[in-house]
């Protein structure tokens, strides 16, 4: 029983990070039909910057978080500027390929600046508590709460606000949406900015749990993208559920087989979903409002 409880706690903690990353992918896809493969590098920049500010320069936690969130948002907006506004034909496939190039450039810059070093971050304090024989770490609690709150906020933004509904309309029918004053440039500006913000949050949540280096973004982005695919690309609830499922599956594999196989779980889940249910778990429940 103790082992099962530990698996659940560990899996939910990791799955919450994957869920937040998946939401970042979903925000862009939901409003632009683009898969932003530069998203993983937002996490790395956020983690490296947070570690530098807190451990090297001695900044308090709150100012560190605020600066990282601003930088994450700026990275998202910079991706929009490079991957969309500079292209002559910014169709979804072309923009998706352009985001790959942006991600490679960011990774190269991080490698140059950090010289390949790894970075860590102190846990966010205040929420550690015992759960029977298991102690739930403060960071695990924070990450689970963050995932739940962000899922609620993102879902509410796209379903209950005029701006969120307008962004979806711009993706579903750009020509008609333009007639009603929803410009494509405004749509991409908002969505990439929000995605950058979510990437900064994910990096802050991830770095106290695992060391971050220039190449860390790829694996975590893959897990977040798999969470989004598993739940149904574009579904915020799906990203949350998908992330938790992948986290729990990883914990089970690491406990009963070997931790060596845990990183391959996301690849396996992605293949299974693409073969048997490419629309994801909640795709049929996603309501498109125009």
Residue 50 has pLDDT above 60, yes or no: yes
Q: Which of 31-35, 96-100, 183-187 has the highest mean pLDDT?
A: 96-100
The answer to pTM > 0.85 is: yes
b/e per residue 127-144 (b: at least 16 CB within 10 A): beeeeeebebbbbbbbbb
Look over the chain and give the mean of its residue pLDDT values, rounded to a whole number.
88
Radius of gyration, alpha carbons of the chain: 19
Task: Tell me if residue 129 falls in helix, strand or coil.
Answer: strand
Task: Tell me if residue 215 falls in helix, strand or coil.
Answer: coil
pLDDT single digits (tens) 57-76: 999 999 999 999 999 999 99
Nearest-angstrom CA–CA distance, 32 and 276: 26
Residue 39 has pLDDT above 80, yes or no: yes
Site of tokens 């530069």: 38
* Per-residue pLDDT at 20: 97
Domain boundaries, the chain: 2-285
CA geometry: angle 15, 18, 22, nearest 5 deg: 135
Tokens representing residue 241 in the block: 């559920």
Taking the CB of residue 66, how many other CB atoms lie within 10 A of it? 11
- The DSSP result for 45-114, as a single string, is HHHHHHHIIIIIS---HHHHHHHHHHHHHHHHHHHHIIIIIT-SS--HHHHHHHHHHHHHHHHHHHHHHH
- Spatial CB neighbours of 92, under 8 Å, sequence gap ≥ 6: 32, 33, 34
57, 62, 83, 102, 209 from 52: Cα distances, Å: 6, 14, 28, 23, 16
Percent of the chain with pLDDT over 70: 91
- For the purposes of burial, counting CB atoms within 10 Å of the CB of 229, is it exposed (0-12), middle (13-18) or buried (19 or more)? buried
pLDDT single digits (tens) 132-169: 788 899 999 999 999 999 999 999 998 888 888 877 77
* Per-residue pLDDT at 3: 81
Task: Work out the angle between the directed axes of helices 184-206 and 61-80 (0-180°, nearest 10).
Answer: 140
* Per-residue pLDDT at 286: 42
Tokens representing residue 197 in the block: 């913000």
As a CATH number, domain 2-285 is: 1.10.3470
């Amino acid at each position: 029983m103790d082992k099962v409880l530990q698996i659940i706690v560990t899996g939910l903690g990791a799955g919450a990070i994957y869920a937040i990353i998946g939401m970042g992918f979903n925000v862009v896809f939901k409003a632009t039909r683009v898969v932003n493969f530069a998203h993983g590098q937002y996490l790395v920049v956020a983690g490296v910057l947070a570690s530098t500010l807190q451990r090297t320069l001695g900044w308090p936690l709150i100012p560190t978080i605020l600066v990282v969130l601003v930088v994450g948002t700026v990275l998202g907006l910079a991706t929009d500027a490079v991957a969309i506004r500079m292209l002559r034909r910014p169709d979804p496939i072309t923009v998706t390929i352009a985001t790959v190039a942006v991600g490679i450039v960011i990774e190269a810059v991080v490698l140059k600046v950090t010289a390949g070093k790894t970075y860590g971050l102190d846990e966010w304090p205040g929420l550690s508590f015992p759960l029977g024989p298991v102690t739930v770490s403060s960071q695990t609690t924070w990450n689970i709460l963050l995932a739940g709150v962000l899922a609620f906020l993102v879902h509410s933004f796209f379903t209950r606000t005029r701006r969120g509904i307008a962004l979806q309309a711009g993706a579903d029918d750009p020509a008609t949406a333009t007639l009603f004053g929803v410009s494509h440039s405004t749509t991409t500006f908002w969505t990439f900015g929000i995605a950058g913000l979510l990437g900064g949050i994910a990096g802050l949540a991830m770095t106290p749990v695992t060391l971050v280096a220039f190449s860390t973004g790829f694996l975590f982005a893959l897990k977040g993208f798999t969470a989004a695919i598993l739940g149904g690309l574009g579904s915020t609830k799906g990203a949350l559920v998908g992330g938790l499922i992948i986290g729990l599956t990883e914990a089970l594999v690491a406990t009963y087989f070997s931790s060596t196989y845990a990183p391959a779980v996301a690849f396996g889940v992605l293949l299974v979903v693409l073969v048997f249910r490419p629309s994801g778990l909640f795709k049929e429940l996603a309501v498109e409002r125009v």
